[in-house]
Structure 1
Amino acid sequence: MKKTEARTGAILTIDLKALVDNWRLLRDRVAPRQCAAVVKADAYGLGMNRVAQALWNAGCKVFFVAQIEEATTLRKRLREAEIHVLNGLLEGTESDFLAQNLIPVLNDIHQIRAWTQFCGQTPRPCDIHLDTGMSRLGLSPEETEQLIADTDLCQALAPSLIMSHLACADSPNHKMNSGQLEEFTTLRQRLDAAGLRAPGSIANSSGIFLGADYHFDLARPGVAIYGVNPTPDNPNPMAQVVRLQAKILQVRTIDTPRAVGYGATHRVWGPSRIATVGVGYADGFLRTISNRGRAFIKDHRAPVVGRISMDLTTLDVTAVPEQLTQPGCMVDLIGPHSTVDDVAQAAGTIGYEILTGLGNRFLRVYSNGPGA
Structure 2
Amino acid sequence: MRPDRMPVVEIDRAALIANWRMLDSRNSGAKTGAAVKANGYGLGAVEVATALFEAGCRDFFVAWAEEGAALRGTLDRLQADASNASADPRIFVLQGLEPATVPLYLARNLIPVLSTPDDIAVWQAGLRATTRKAPAAVQFETGMNRLGLTSKDARLAADLAASGELELCLVMSHLASADEPTSQSAEQLERFRALAGLFPSVPRSLANSAGVFLGPDYAFDLTRPGIALYGGEAGPGSSEAIRAVARLTASVLQVRIAKAGEAVGYGAAARLDRDTRIATVGIGYADGYHRAASGAGVGMRQLRPGAEAILAGRRVPVLGRVSMDLTLLDVSGLPEDAVRPGARAEFFGPDMPIDAVAQAAGTIAYELLTALGPRVYRRWV
- TM-score when normalising by structure 2: 0.90
| Amino acid aligned to 1:113 | A
Q: Please state how far the C-alpha of 1:154 moved relative to its aligned partner.
A: 4.6
| Amino acid aligned to 2:123 | W
Q: Tell me, yes or no, if structure 1 residue 279 matches structure 2 residue 277.
A: no
Q: Please state how far the C-alpha of 1:246 moved relative to its aligned partner.
A: 1.0
Q: Tell me, yes or no, if structure 1 residue 249 matches structure 2 residue 259.
A: no
Contact 2:312/2:339, CA 8 A, preserved across alignment: no
Q: Quick one: which of 236, 240, 246 aligns to 2:244?
A: 240
Tell me the residue number matched to 1:205: 209
For the residues of structure 1 that align with 2:133 and 2:8, how far apart are their CA atoms?
A: 48
Equivalent pairs counted in the alignment come to 358
Q: Quick one: which of 19, 24, 33 aligns to 2:16?
A: 19
Tell me the residue number matched to 1:175: 183
For the residues of structure 1 that align with 2:209 and 2:238, how far apart are their CA atoms?
A: 14
Tell me the residue number matched to 2:312: 298
SS in 2 for 1:333: strand
> Which residues in structure 2 correspond to 1:267-346 (within 5 Å)?
267-291=271-295, 292-346=306-360
Contact 1:161/1:199, CA 8 A, preserved across alignment: yes
Task: List structure 1 segments (4+ residues) > 6 angstroms apart after TM superposition.
Answer: none
For the residues of structure 2 that align with 1:41 and 1:246, how far apart are their CA atoms?
A: 23
Contact 1:123/1:157, CA 8 A, preserved across alignment: no
Q: Please state how far the C-alpha of 1:5 moved relative to its aligned partner.
A: 4.7
Q: Please state how far the C-alpha of 1:335 moved relative to its aligned partner.
A: 2.5
Q: Tell me, yes or no, if structure 1 residue 69 matches structure 2 residue 66.
A: yes
For the residues of structure 1 that align with 2:354 and 2:56, how far apart are their CA atoms?
A: 26
C-alpha spacing 1:233/1:268, structure 2 compared with 1 (3 Å): farther
Q: Please state how far the C-alpha of 1:117 moved relative to its aligned partner.
A: 2.9
Q: Tell me, yes or no, if structure 1 residue 50 matches structure 2 residue 50.
A: no
Q: Please state how far the C-alpha of 1:234 moved relative to its aligned partner.
A: 5.8
C-alpha spacing 1:257/1:141, structure 2 compared with 1 (3 Å): same
SS in 1 for 2:197: helix
- Could you tell which deviates more after superposition, 199-208 or 48-57? 48-57
Cα deviations by residue, 1:265-315 (Å, 9 ceiling, x for unpaired): 111122210111000011111011111010111321210010000000001
| Amino acid aligned to 1:54 | A
| Amino acid aligned to 1:136 | R
> Which residues in structure 2 correspond to 1:252-263 (within 5 Å)?
252-263=256-267
Q: Please state how far the C-alpha of 1:337 moved relative to its aligned partner.
A: 2.6
For the residues of structure 1 that align with 2:314 and 2:196, how far apart are their CA atoms?
A: 54
Q: Between the two proteins, what is the percent identity of the paired residues? A: 44
> Which residues in structure 2 correspond to 1:64-213 (within 5 Å)?
64-79=61-76, 80=79, 81-120=89-128, 123-148=133-158, 150=159, 154-171=163-180, 173-192=181-200, 197-213=201-217
Q: Tell me, yes or no, if structure 1 residue 217 matches structure 2 residue 221.
A: yes
Q: Please state how far the C-alpha of 1:218 moved relative to its aligned partner.
A: 0.2
Contact 1:147/1:154, CA 8 A, preserved across alignment: no
SS in 2 for 1:230: coil
For the residues of structure 2 that align with 1:296 and 1:151, how far apart are their CA atoms?
A: 57
Cα deviations by residue, 1:26-59 (Å, 9 ceiling, x for unpaired): 0111213100011000000000111111111111
Tell me the residue number matched to 1:28: 25
Query: Unaligned stretches of 5+ in structure 1?
Result: 368-372
- Could you tell which deviates more after superposition, 51-60 or 135-144? 135-144
Q: Tell me, yes or no, if structure 1 residue 40 matches structure 2 residue 10.
A: no
- TM-score when normalising by structure 1: 0.92
For the residues of structure 1 that align with 2:370 and 2:270, how far apart are their CA atoms?
A: 29
Query: Unaligned stretches of 5+ in structure 2?
Result: 80-88, 296-305
SS in 2 for 1:191: coil
Q: Please state how far the C-alpha of 1:365 moved relative to its aligned partner.
A: 1.1
For the residues of structure 2 that align with 1:35 and 1:48, how far apart are their CA atoms?
A: 17
What is the alpha-carbon root mean square deviation over aligned residues?
Answer: 1.7
Contact 1:132/1:183, CA 8 A, preserved across alignment: yes
Cα deviations by residue, 1:107-147 (Å, 9 ceiling, x for unpaired): 11121122223324754210011111111111123322433
| Amino acid aligned to 2:170 | L
For the residues of structure 2 that align with 1:255 and 1:133, how far apart are their CA atoms?
A: 56
For the residues of structure 1 that align with 2:144 and 2:133, how far apart are their CA atoms?
A: 29
For the residues of structure 2 that align with 1:223 and 1:336, how far apart are their CA atoms?
A: 16
Q: Quick one: which of 371, 378, 381 aligns to 1:357?
A: 371
C-alpha spacing 1:234/1:34, structure 2 compared with 1 (3 Å): closer
Cα deviations by residue, 1:77-114 (Å, 9 ceiling, x for unpaired): 11142111101122221121111111110111121122
